[in-house]
Structure 1
């Protein structure tokens, strides 16, 4: 049985022109040899399997050639290879320094190739410094490493550095085709392309994968054999999934995803591949970017054909949804459900039924009638009811009847507070509240769920509904809560405006911002610095007559709500529009803009100057 030699060794380049994907470095080294301009200390750095050691051996052999040597002369006595991973002590470096002093017996130079040089200890590096800076005329050092950042700066400053880059997919595929031809192996172009992609820029890895697949498939290398042996998710799955997404066929999408999982593929690998597939489709949409698509010609035509079925808006939103799922995958407790929900969102992007009015009964029934596809409108996923992180204090679009406490309940609460009878004002307020609540509940609505009637009537309802909702949220299990309910009921009465004489002038967002700044100035002059910091934390957004505010936690929201009615009164009076209202939300995922604790202040300073952490460690300081 003939001894088998792996392709990575059998087809290792013997001259610079055979090195794949490093033309800039090989040309530089050849010119340096020809012009006698070669440094005595070289550092080859870069990822694994890109040709660092190969180039070092070719260079070591080439600098000793003068044309009189034999054809098979390899100058083995002049080339010394040292593995720094196992010879990393000071004694090993001292032995090397002692050998350097002896001149070569054959040729002009002795070449010392130190592989994985970053594994040397600090003491060994220091012992090597003087020799590396001023070596004998006959000595040349070639250091090779995959982790340049681990080498001390004093070594780097004494070396001429060559950065080897990852080899491109096209270069690897062409080299694999030459190897396959030399081995009399018939290989499909797509099969070699998959191997080149799997190698991730390392030619040695590509040749190792090639040997493994040849052992599996024999002399005929097909795409199917490669994907089966490497457990690679075939791109045909992504084409099939995308077609189903464009058809809004959620049931079949979920079945196809289940088939992918049953073949042993990971859901995270699938969703990353799907995002890359959408990216490749977007690349095909423009002739200027089509060269970024690193696939075979046959697959490129498939990408181009499917890209014509999609829109740029769909691809942008699809990439965003898939990327969001990718980021959440590792922290998810139910990872399969996360991916399935992502697929349902993707399948709903092109749902045409949502173009009709979603608030109308006709539009809503259309989505229900299309139940054979189980399409979920994208707006559902973006609504605040679906997003658990957002907590809103604004009222809903369609007001509902609100239960208001009766006079009997108020009387019971008054007795608990040792009061004989509730005040007439509160009783009247309660009656007014019940009366207004019943009017709201019985008020007719148009087809879009909005209350019919003039604008003045809607203005009277808004503060009433919000105040009554706040009254309903207050617990009745403590004296403090009872007092709060009484205050809210007084507030309901006090906020009963005269609908006939109220102004409703239009105003712009710039005008609102100016009035807002004026109010914050008044707050500052009153010495309410805590409220001032909350109101200036973000920029209020105007939508119609609703001013939206967003805060990072519930505590800040509560503080602002205490001054809500004073703020509303100021805004309404200055802008002459009594339809203005506030929508205060909590978004705990928002980036914190202020540092409150000492730890947060320290982290903020550390972001601006990382040396602060070093200072803390040096003096063992506590925060």
Structure 2
């Protein structure tokens, strides 16, 4: 029987701690805990989607339950390790918190965890999206979580830690998964592309990483889709076409129009972007990133920069970026995305041209002190 195609995100899922990208602060801590024998009974993995929470939980379970373990370098070819990674091990139970969130199901879990593991040293429960459990289910879990049997370990994963009861969080060791830097995503995707014999240029890699928002799984899924669309050769133009992104040149040009306060050109540029089907919300996000880079340069250059054409002060750039940020919700959720996008850009221009009253008073006071009449009066006194 022929096996179906397995997506890149699954085929390239890390199997060892050293293969996890961008989470060194977590993998180092877990490896040290295994080496020193200081293994807690409950762990809470928190972070954005696609950053490695569930993968790390499986890997930690594999490290604890591997043959001859616990070990920080489990044998991937052993039957137990294979069954843990593919989800078929009897002693590593993966539970979806969204569909197993009732009090009765948690009570059943409490009863089951009293039994000894069948083939491994530990019985490990991995509860994904744990924030979806009901309040009653959380309360039913409290006593077991506080004093579990010695052979039981709990690994929780969530994207929304604020929804978990503080009494649950206080009983766990909490690990914060960070969004993965674009450079690390590009490096990993480049490795995958070479192994898959795919030609992809550096600019296209940066566009994919920018689209992923710090999520490795999102980046790998995007690469998979691009391979289906483009074949063996992926260019920046292909990425921009498939996902409706604007190029860095287009983003910089739009930022320059904002700095110049060229209203007709701004409206014309928006109309052109909308006509060719660009994602206006994504352009708004990328525009903020571009302005942030200009803002940093202005701060380094003593408070002003001409990178966008006309000289712009730090205060103006901050006001412009703040106006763009406030307009995100309207562009993303509003009835007319194009109109809201245009209004957001025009409002950003207007706000960048205003001055804070305190800085204006300070500047006028300095000018008054340097005025000839004032200086003569001071000398006469």
TM above 0.5:
yes
Q: Is the 8 A contact 1:268 1:326 kept in 2?
A: no
The structure number with the bigger radius of gyration is 1
- SS of residue paired to 2:44: strand
Match of 1:156 in 2: 169
Work out the CA distance in 1 between the residues paired with 2:289 and 2:78.
Answer: 48
Work out the CA distance in 2 between the residues paired with 1:197 and 1:157.
Answer: 35
Match of 1:142 in 2: 155
Match of 1:311 in 2: 311
- SS of residue paired to 1:13: coil
Displacement of 1:337 in angstroms is 6.1
Match of 2:374 in 1: none
Match of 1:612 in 2: none
Identify which of 220, 232, 235 aligns with 1:219.
Answer: 232
Work out the CA distance in 1 between the residues paired with 2:176 and 2:258.
Answer: 44
- 1:554-603 CA-partner distances (Å, limit 9, x unpaired): xxxxxxxxxxxxxxxxxxxxxxxxxxxxxxxxxxxxxxxxxxxxxxxxxx
- 1:103-131 CA-partner distances (Å, limit 9, x unpaired): 12323211111112222222222222221
Match of 2:18 in 1: 17
Q: Is the 8 A contact 2:91 2:124 kept in 1?
A: yes
Work out the CA distance in 2 between the residues paired with 1:340 and 1:105.
Answer: 62
Work out the CA distance in 2 between the residues paired with 1:168 and 1:312.
Answer: 29
Work out the CA distance in 1 between the residues paired with 2:342 and 2:150.
Answer: 68
Displacement of 1:56 in angstroms is 0.8
Displacement of 1:283 in angstroms is 2.9
Note the residue ranges of structure 2 that are not aligned, 5 or more in a row.
356-360, 369-381
Displacement of 1:93 in angstroms is 1.7
- SS of residue paired to 1:143: strand
Work out the CA distance in 2 between the residues paired with 1:72 and 1:46.
Answer: 30
Is 1:324 paired with 2:323? yes
Identify which of 66, 69, 72 aligns with 2:78.
Answer: 72
Work out the CA distance in 2 between the residues paired with 1:196 and 1:109.
Answer: 38
Match of 2:372 in 1: none
Note the residue ranges of structure 1 that are not aligned, 5 or more in a row.
290-303, 350-377, 383-508, 510-540, 545-623
- SS of residue paired to 1:77: coil
Is 1:184 paired with 2:189? no
Displacement of 1:338 in angstroms is 3.2
Distance 1:328 1:84, change over 3 A: closer
- 1:463-510 CA-partner distances (Å, limit 9, x unpaired): xxxxxxxxxxxxxxxxxxxxxxxxxxxxxxxxxxxxxxxxxxxxxx9x
Work out the CA distance in 2 between the residues paired with 1:152 and 1:340.
Answer: 41
Match of 1:338 in 2: 343
Match of 1:60 in 2: 61
Q: Is the 8 A contact 2:122 2:152 kept in 1?
A: yes
- 1:594-620 CA-partner distances (Å, limit 9, x unpaired): xxxxxxxxxxxxxxxxxxxxxxxxxxx
Count of aligned residue pairs for this structure pair: 338
Displacement of 1:45 in angstroms is 1.6
- SS of residue paired to 2:126: strand
- 1:289-319 CA-partner distances (Å, limit 9, x unpaired): 9xxxxxxxxxxxxxx9x82855343x75355
Displacement of 1:268 in angstroms is 5.7
- SS of residue paired to 2:90: helix
Work out the CA distance in 2 between the residues paired with 1:269 and 1:236.
Answer: 15
Work out the CA distance in 2 between the residues paired with 1:113 and 1:135.
Answer: 15
Q: Is the 8 A contact 2:54 2:128 kept in 1?
A: yes
Q: Is the 8 A contact 1:42 1:159 kept in 2?
A: yes
Match of 2:178 in 1: 165
Distance 1:319 1:119, change over 3 A: closer
Distance 1:344 1:264, change over 3 A: same
Work out the CA distance in 1 between the residues paired with 2:5 and 2:104.
Answer: 38
- 1:415-434 CA-partner distances (Å, limit 9, x unpaired): xxxxxxxxxxxxxxxxxxxx
Distance 1:310 1:283, change over 3 A: farther
Work out the CA distance in 2 between the residues paired with 1:162 and 1:44.
Answer: 5
Q: Is the 8 A contact 1:84 1:114 kept in 2?
A: yes
Displacement of 1:175 in angstroms is 1.1
Identify which of 105, 108, 112 aligns with 2:121.
Answer: 108
